[in-house]
Amino acid sequence: MKISKVWLDESTDECTSCGLCESIAPDVFEVPDKMIVKENVDFDAFNAAIKDAADSCPVGVIKFEEVD
């Protein structure tokens, strides 16, 4: 499946700015104050890293959407 969208979801918890996502997928994530998803990224090219970053996030605020 192809990742079509990645976002920060702070509806249940807040980003702690730990920088783990940026260390796992620096081409996708940046952590100046809170995590941001970089613009114009081909998410499909970083599919595994995005999933790893989302799974590794200590507060679970990284979300992504997949399409066929």
Work out the percent of the chain whose per-residue pLDDT is above 70.
100
61 alpha-carbon distance from chain centroid:
8
50 alpha-carbon distance from chain centroid:
5
15-21-22 Cα angle (round to 5): 110
Task: For residue range 49-60, list pLDDT tens digits in order.
Answer: 999 999 999 999
C-alpha–C-alpha distance, residues 26 and 53, integer Å: 10
Residue identified by tokens 């399409």 is 67
Domains (range + CATH), the chain: 2-67 (3.30.70.20)
C-alpha–C-alpha distance, residues 55 and 68, integer Å: 21
**Each residue's pLDDT expressed in tens, for the chain with a length of 68 residues:** 999 999 999 999 999 999 999 999 999 999 999 999 999 999 999 999 999 999 999 999 999 999 98
